[in-house]
């Protein structure tokens, strides 16, 4: 599983994603930093989703640990990881 700030979360690993994306409802206590991105394209590519800001979170996947930067949106309960 994927642990974000010590909590187990379900995440989508997207090989086409250009950034890590997380819902504001998952990180409500985090202070958002301004982002250079104003919107991101949705999976349908017809729709743009506003970016509220960005944040950096501690993550753990298996034995790998580190910090990842996430773009924050209002889309409920979503975590998408960029597969680079």
HSE-CB for 55 with a 13 A CA cutoff: 21
Q: What confidence score (pLDDT) does residue 70 get?
A: 93
* pLDDT value for 51: 94
pLDDT in tens, 24-38: 988 866 678 999 999
Dihedral sign (CA 63, 55, 24, 43): negative
Q: What pLDDT, on a 0 to 100 scale, did the predictor assign at position 32?
A: 87
5-61 per-position pLDDT tens digit? 788 888 888 877 888 999 998 886 667 899 999 998 876 667 888 999 999 998 998
């Amino acid at each position: 599983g994927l642990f974000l700030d010590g909590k187990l979360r379900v995440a989508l690993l997207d090989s086409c994603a250009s950034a890590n994306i997380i819902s504001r409802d998952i990180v409500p206590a985090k202070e958002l930093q301004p982002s250079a991105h104003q919107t991101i394209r949705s999976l349908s590519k017809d729709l743009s989703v506003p970016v509220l800001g960005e944040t950096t979170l501690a993550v753990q996947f298996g034995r790998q640990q580190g910090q990842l930067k996430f773009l924050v949106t209002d889309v409920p309960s979503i975590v998408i990881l960029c597969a680079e």
